[in-house]
Every structure is written in structure tokens, then in C-alpha cells.
Chains A and B, each alone.
Chain A
Amino acid sequence: MKSNSGFWNKAIRLVLLMILTYVLLFPMTVALFTSLKPPGEVITATPSLLPHDFTLQNYRVLFSLREFPRYLLNSFLVSCYTALISILVSSLAAYALVWMNFTGKRTIVKAIFFTYMFPQILLVLPLFLMCYELNLIDTKMALVLTYLSFSLPFCVWMLKSFFESIPEELVEAAMLDGCTYLQCLFKVVLPVSIPAVTAVLVFSFVLGWSEYLFANTLIISDTNRTIAIGLQTLIGYYRVDYGLLTAASIVMTLPVLLFFVTVQKYFIQGLVVGSVKE
């Protein structure tokens, strides 16, 4: 009797989950099948989900545009730099906030958090001018720095919470052994913080991967565009070429998805201790 009810419980749960997933992924399903349709089938008065004639034409066009792989690579580089530097910088800051004793700590934590509250739309023009003065316009560096400042508050705060959960004896022992703070961070704290580091990595990578507003202003030349901006050049300005758009969105989702699926265990572990355990 008991095992029976457990089975039904599981079944109901699974069915519910399947329905929800279907509904939530409907836009993605449409995107996937649209990308496999020939142009004439994309916009019709009687839309059908499945293509009448399967074709890889959109993907072929996409990869025949020599800019597309470059846009992908640019996005990848920018996101990677953002993620790696985020980890380094935020772990340093988080370490100081947890293991060092100084006045004004609380204020600093708050101040970092408050940077989220300034509307990004107003940052655009001043940031553009500033990058000009510093000769950073049209460089990936400008983008990396911008994204860094958006990802840091969350990353610092998350690593800080994770570090707080590390047994103090561990750090204490290292310090007694004569480690410097820096050694302590790299040899003791970071190795046991892989989950949190993964979480920070995913968060800051995703942030850089799909950002639109700043990439659109700070990058000028075609060779430096990221995929979120490059998309627009590909699909046109006077109408939306849904075939190309969906094909491109599928191509750009896949690598991130694969990456996430591989590290998701760590990612969630990192969130477990980092953000929600007290």
C-alpha cells in the first residue's frame, strides 16, 4: 500500500513536471522547428509546429556568413574573461570580507549591493564617453570591465556566504603554519570552494553571453561584435528573418547548455552553501 502511493506520487509529479516543461519550452520548441523550415513556411496564416519540408538551409546560410563564427568566438572570449576575472577578483574581496578584521565591513558589503540599483540605461552614454577618453571603445576589455562590475556584487556576496561556511579550524591551521592570506586563499579556501566557484563561473558567463545594451554601444566594428549584437545584423532591420534568428539562437544556446549540464551538480551545491544556508 505504502509503496503504491509512493509510485503514484512520483508519477503525478513527473506528469506535472512534463506538462510544465512542455509549456515553458514551447517557445524553444517553436524555435527549433522553425530553424528547420524553408523560408516560405516560416510565416503562414496556418502555422504548423513541424516543418513540411525539413531543411538545414538556415544553418547552412548561417555558417556561410563568415561573421557568424566570429561573433560566437567574441562572445565566448568576453564571457570567459568575465567569468575568470570575476572569480579571481570576487574571491579576493570575499576573502577579505570574511577572514580579515577591519572597520566598515558592513558598509562595504552594502555599498557593493547598491550598485545594482542604478538604472543601466543611464550608464550607457557616460560610460561610452568615458571609454572614449580611455581609448577603450571598441575593445573587448571595455565589455569585460562592464560585465565584471555587473557580476561582481552577486559573486562577492555568494563567495562570501560560502567562505563563511568553511570550518574556521581549516583557515586557522593554515595561518598558524605561516601561510600568508594569499596562500591561504589559493591553497586552502579555493580548493574546498569548487561548488561556489562553479556557481560564480556560470552566473558571470551567462551574464556576458547574452548582454545586449552595452555590447551594442561599446562595440563599434564588426570584428568585435558579440553574438547578441551580431544577431541583429544577421536577421535584418526591416523585418525579422525568423529562420535565421531561430537557427542562430539554437546554435548559441547549445554550448552554454552543454556547459551547464556538465557542471550543474557543482553549481547547485555552490548555491546550496553559498546563497541559502545560514
Chain B
Amino acid sequence: MKKKGISYFLMAAFFAACILGLAGCSQKKTAEQNSTENKIVTIEFSYPPYGYDSQKEDAFWKKYIAEFEKENPNIKVNFTVESWDNVYTKWDGYFASGDTPDIGYADGVQGVEYGVQGKALPLTDVIDALGGEEVFTKDSKAFQTNGVWYSIPNCVAAPVLAYRKDLLKAAGFSEPPKTWDELVSMSKKLTKDGVYGLGMFTGENLLTQQIMVGFMKAAGGRVLDEKGNVVVNCPENLEALKFMTDLAKVHKVVPPSAVDWKYGDDVNVLGTGKVATDIMWGGYGTLLESMFPNDYQNIGFVTMPVGPSGHSGSFTGSGGFFLFNKAEHPKEAKEFIKFMSREEISKEWCKISGNVSPFKSIANDPELMKMEWYKAVSQQSDTAVELGFDYGFVPGLDILHTQYRYSRTVGDVLLRNMTPEEALKTLHDDCIAAIEKAKKQ
């Protein structure tokens, strides 16, 4: 009997140890409860990384959150860097469970989508407190719908044309290509000895989609007309698709392995001098010095070449703060957003993150414009299109974006031997079907 007792005791002790150990893991919750007793409010901030250099970016957020907490001793900010792989899944989980953070950070169209679905709070009052919509550049219109703002613009960026000054010079060019025709003729001459004239993503992924949308814009194409009809299958879009796919398929100036580029392969290829020009996000400018200490001065940035429409075109990425509908402390969260929108912080943010400011007062700041990448992105922004391709949030079409459906059209031509006409027609039909389906839902 005694023996039995010992054995049971040992087992109970083991279980208890396990449970205690596990309970120790969830200390966070109790700490929070204590802080509410002292009337200190903790706001949760869920943020996918928008800066290119993660170490600089981390330091930036930590520094200014600490400053904010010093200015507002009753507010604590709990900052979480999310992973791009699953941030939307995670947020979907938050929405479904109803237990959300206070602040999120996403592109303008995403914020509007959440707002329209009732998942994000309107923030027009914050916009007014910051000086109204006049203080923002025109890219910022994607952050509102029908006059209601669902997120506060914080950064804007666009893919631009990066180029190797040394390779261009060696081939006898003093300036990077300015038009589509120049892009073709110059890249053809630059393609030799294992070096390709133009680097751009051609696989079925987000970046290819962004580049294609940029070409469509430069050609003067659209997805929806004023009445909301799908006009994907228009001659301008066809011209853009033909131009983009011909670069790879007919002129062969794009590396064939670009169909598999991922995880910043483009910047590596440019840095090793294996492509002479490259369509890439201007923000990489902040990384080049540390990645390629011997070559970074050879890399320049300009706006994308001008297309048949007479202007250049690119895609816009943007980022801004939004409030989850179930935010526990919206008042304090708004204070934080206002704090982070201060001029000197916004300026610092642009410099380290590789983005352009959405504030008119800083967007063309002479100090920032000294950086080549910043200048290119800032100028590019005028001719760039949002994820929603100028039409904002249309239920159904958002699914085509997350599917990278546009990039599939490029893949159809490059890898599945469809003609550009067929590929574009399929995209056109899919757009119509997606909108119809969303209406039925």
C-alpha cells in the first residue's frame, strides 16, 4: 500500500511539474491584468514588415514606441512583427474569433476592404486632425471610399527601373532607357556574355503581377471602365501583355530563370552584375550598400520607361494604419497613429524603410530626394496604380489579386504557349466570373 502511494505521488508530482511549467509560459496574460489595475492601457499593434532592412526597421519601431510611451506614460504599445506568409490568415483568425489587436498595418485597398466589410473602424476624424485629405499626396485616395477613410496613409512605394551604371557605360550608353522602344533596343545590346539586358519577375507570383499591372498602366489600359464593366480585353492591355512577354520570349533579353525568382533573387542578380537593368522595388536602395559593398555605387534608379500612352506606369504599394473593429482602446490607438504621423518621424521612416512619404510636405523633401532610389520612387508614384488598379475595392476581384491571376496570364503566354490574345481573353472571362460569383455570395 505504501509503495503504491509513492508511485502515485511521483506521478502526480510529474504532472504538476508539467502543468506548472506550461502555466509559466502564459505569464503575459496576468501581466496585462495587473497593468489595467494601474490604469495603464496596452494597445496591441500587429505589423507586417514594410521596411527592407529588417534590423534598421526593428530599431526604428522600438525607438519611437519607446518615445511614445515616454510621452504618454499611461499607454503601452505591444508591437508584433508579423510574417508576410500568414499575416492575412492570422487576421482572418482574429476577425473570426473576435479577439483582435487594436492597430493593424496594411495597404490602402486592404484597409478599405476591411472597412466595407465592417472589420475596420472609420478613421476620418484622425485624417481631419492631421490636416484633412489635402496634406496627403494623390496616391492616398486608395485609403478611402466615398469620403470615409479606413486607414491612415503612412508609406507609398513602387517598383522602378534599377540599372548598372558600369554595364551601361561599357556598352556605350550614357543614360538608362526612357521609353519602351529604348528599353527593347538597349536590352538587346546589353544581352551578351551571360549578362542579360533586363531583369524582371516572370513567374506566377505577386511581383510579376505588379510588373504587368505597371505595363498595363503605361499602355493606357484599364480593368474596369467608368460604369464598372470589365474591359480587360482592350487593345491597350493586349499591347502591354505582348510587350512584356516579347521581352522574354522574342527578344530573349530576360533571364529564363526569372520564372523562378523569389526571395529577392532580383537584387542578387543585379548586384552580381548579371543583369544590366532590372525592374524592382525602389526600397532595395536601402539594402545595396550592406549587401554589395563593392558594387552598390554602380547601381542607379530611374522611373519606368514611358509607354505608348505617353506616360510611364508602375504599381503602387502603400501602407497605413487601420483599427480593428473590435479594438479595445481605439482612443489611445488613434493617439499612437497621430504620433507616428509626425513629420520628423515620417521622414526618418522613409529613409530607413525604403518607402516614400504620403505627406505632401515630405514627399519631395530635398534631403530625401538626394537618394537616387527615393527620387525615382517619388517621381514614379504619380503614374502608379494601386493594387485595385484604379477601381478600388470590388468584391470578387480581390480574389483574383490574392491568386496572382494577372501573373498567370504572363505564364500562359511564356510557359503554356497561349497567344497573348487567348491569355487576355481568359483573364477577361475570369474577371467577369469572379465579380458575378461575389454578387451571388
Let me know if chains A and B touch directly in the complex, using CB atoms closer than 8 Å. yes
- Indicate if the CB atoms of A125 and B274 lie closer than 8 Å: no
Q: Is B39 an interface residue (CB 8 A)?
A: no
- Indicate if the CB atoms of B272 and A139 lie closer than 8 Å: no
Q: Is B16 an interface residue (CB 8 A)?
A: no
Q: Is B415 an interface residue (CB 8 A)?
A: no
Interface residues of A (CB under 8 A from B): 39-40, 42-45, 61, 65, 77, 81, 84-85, 88, 124-125, 128-129, 132-133, 135, 138-141, 144, 179-180, 182-183, 186-187, 216-217, 220-224, 229, 232-240
Q: Chain A contacts of B86 at CB under 8 A?
A: 216-217
Q: Is B394 an interface residue (CB 8 A)?
A: no
Q: Which 8 A-B pairs have the closest CB atoms?
A: A239-B264, A132-B97, A140-B25, A236-B54, A40-B293, A45-B272, A139-B26, A141-B22
Q: Is B78 an interface residue (CB 8 A)?
A: yes
Known A182-B11, A187-B7, A221-B78; judge A40-B25 contact (CB<8 A).
Answer: no
| Smallest CB separation, A128 vs chain B (Å) | 5
Q: Is B34 an interface residue (CB 8 A)?
A: no
- Indicate if the CB atoms of A43 and B291 lie closer than 8 Å: yes
Q: Is B130 an interface residue (CB 8 A)?
A: no
Complex Cα distance, B78 from A232, in Å, reads 20
Complex Cα distance, B264 from A85, in Å, reads 41
| Smallest CB separation, B107 vs chain A (Å) | 15
- Indicate if the CB atoms of A221 and B4 lie closer than 8 Å: no
Q: Chain A contacts of B294 at CB under 8 A?
A: 40
| Smallest CB separation, A208 vs chain B (Å) | 13
Q: Chain B contacts of A233 at CB under 8 A?
A: 54, 81, 83
Complex Cα distance, B99 from A88, in Å, reads 34
Q: Is B271 an interface residue (CB 8 A)?
A: yes
Residue of B with least CB distance to A234: B54
Query: B5-58: which have CB < 8 Å to A?
Result: 7-8, 10-11, 14, 18, 21-22, 25-26, 28-29, 46, 49, 52-55
Q: Chain A contacts of B287 at CB under 8 A?
A: 238-239
Interface residues of B (CB under 8 A from A): 3-4, 7-8, 10-11, 14, 18, 21-22, 25-26, 28-29, 46, 49, 52-55, 78-81, 83-86, 89-90, 92-93, 96-97, 99, 263-264, 267-268, 271-274, 281, 283-284, 287, 290-294
| Smallest CB separation, B147 vs chain A (Å) | 34
Complex Cα distance, B53 from A276, in Å, reads 50
- A selection of 28 A-B contacts at a CB cut-off of 8 Å is A39-B291, A40-B293, A43-B271, A124-B89, A128-B89, A132-B93, A132-B97, A133-B97, A139-B26, A140-B26, A182-B8, A183-B7, A217-B93, A220-B90, A221-B28, A221-B80, A222-B79, A223-B28, A233-B81, A234-B54, A235-B54, A236-B52, A237-B49, A237-B54, A238-B52, A238-B287, A239-B263, A240-B264
Residue of A with least CB distance to B26: A139
Known A129-B96, A232-B83, A233-B81; judge A138-B28 contact (CB<8 A).
Answer: yes
Residue of A with least CB distance to B53: A236
Complex Cα distance, B290 from A236, in Å, reads 13
